[in-house]
Structure 1
Amino acid sequence: MSQYWLMKSEPDAFSIDDLKQQGPSPWDGVRNYQARNFMKEMKIDDLVFFYHSSCKPAGIAGIAKVTRNAYPDHTSWDPNSAYYDPKSTKESPRWFMVDIELVEKFPVLIPLSSLKQDPELTDMALLKKGSRLSVMPILESHWQHILQSTRSA
């Protein structure tokens, strides 16, 4: 049974257009244990809202799907990488990543402000106070509601 997710990326670092251009791409550099654990739960063909963060406006830019289950994030082993972690080793990896590919880029970004105003989404993880995770699960009911709202707009 498929699960639904939201993954945040700053568009100046990696945008939905970058994903479209590159094709299947690793989602590396996650350095939060809870976000890492969510990625370890992801399975091939799970669907993902691709979310542009730290920009104006922030919001959901489209849909991607998982194309490879979680595997060790090799950037944690590279001392020249911004994501280097000396406590992560090939023998005992601390960090993981998945690969994703673009399914659909939305014609118009769904802004965070619109999501916040929707009474059907009040308990969505993204909208909870203090929610800063870059990877989070999305309830199927929220997923379907957002898609339906997008398709009818």
Structure 2
Amino acid sequence: MGGHKFHGDMARLDNPRRKEILPVEPVIEVLGGIKDGLAVADLGCGTGYLSVPLAKHLDGHGTVYAVDINPKALEVLKEKAAGIDNILALQSEENKFPIESRTIDVSFMVAVFHELDDPSSFLMEIRRISKPFHQIVVVDWSDVQGEMGPPMSERIPEKDVIKFFKDR
């Protein structure tokens, strides 16, 4: 693990082709019914590819904690989220999030797992910020060559990601 961190052209994160390959609607549907006060973390949010649609989806019913280590990406997110009151853009370290313990109901990791230097420490930090009943949603690049995404050497087979979470 420990692939490169994305520091490229931020426009690539909102590429229309990416939206075809990875539409956000099915990811958001994982939430199911929304209860008031829902706290959602988008860990490794980048420019808000998921955070902004999530915040709009939760409008009036919950808060999105958009967390990333890249301050440039967070600046783009803040521009995109102008006028959206239920999104908090937070700069973090990889394994230390500026979120109080036992705050989050659902954590999303979209195209993040393959970049982690220390997945176990990352998971421990998710546990710290999570309420006792919590969901973690992981969406990442498959280990099949495609037209987008990280190099094959950095992709992690789905079975290995599932095993990681089951073993912990």
Q: Normalization by structure 1: what TM-score?
A: 0.25
Q: Normalization by structure 2: what TM-score?
A: 0.24
- With CA pairs under 8 Å and 6+ residues apart, which has the higher RCO, 1 or 2? 1
